[in-house]
Amino acid sequence: MNEIEKPKMGTYKRHMLVCVGSRCTEDGEAQELFESLSEKFKAAGIDKGELRVKRTRTHCFATCRGGPILAIQPDGIWYYNVTEANLDRIIEEHLVNGKPVKELIYHRGPDVVD
């Protein structure tokens, strides 16, 4: 019997989940935004170290309006209308400086205070 190897994961401060499902954006815009994250995170200095942000693509949040949409955990912040310019704001203001971009938030998770 083979033993299953335990996965390894580096530490991170926040986790960005990006919906790339076809119901959010039919033109593939969300996938393109996801693919740009590596370079954007490097440029912002959040690809490693204490501010490191892990990124994951998902296929459905079951909130299929106003996409592209993404969630920042453990902050419990859900963003909509994530254009490239809005993504740059989210990275700089929220992920680097810790201040969520209020006008782009469509939902806050449990126990999230304004």
Domain residue extents for the chain: 14-108
CA dist., res. 88 & res. 93, Å (int): 8
Helices within the chain (DSSP H only) = 29-44, 84-89
The topology (CATH level 3) of 14-108 is: Glutaredoxin (3.40.30)
Cα 56 off chain centre by: 7
DSSP state of 76: T
pLDDT at 60: 86
CA dist., res. 71 & res. 20, Å (int): 12
DSSP state of 44: H
Could you list the beta-strand ranges (E) of 1-114: 14-19, 53-58, 70-73, 77-79, 105-108
pLDDT at 4: 94
In the predicted structure, residue 43 carries a pLDDT above the cut 90: yes
**Tens-digit pLDDT profile for residues 8-37:** 999 999 999 999 988 777 788 899 999 999
pLDDT at 77: 97
Half-sphere exposure of 23 (CA within 13 A, CB side): 8
pLDDT at 112: 63
pLDDT at 108: 94
CA dist., res. 9 & res. 97, Å (int): 24
Q: Which of 36, 51, 54 is nearest to 96 (CA)?
A: 51
Q: SS3 for 84?
A: helix
pLDDT band at residue 65 using 50, 70 and 90 as cut-offs: confident
pLDDT at 98: 95
pLDDT at 110: 79
Mean pLDDT of 69-79: 96
pLDDT at 62: 84
Mean pLDDT of 78-92: 96
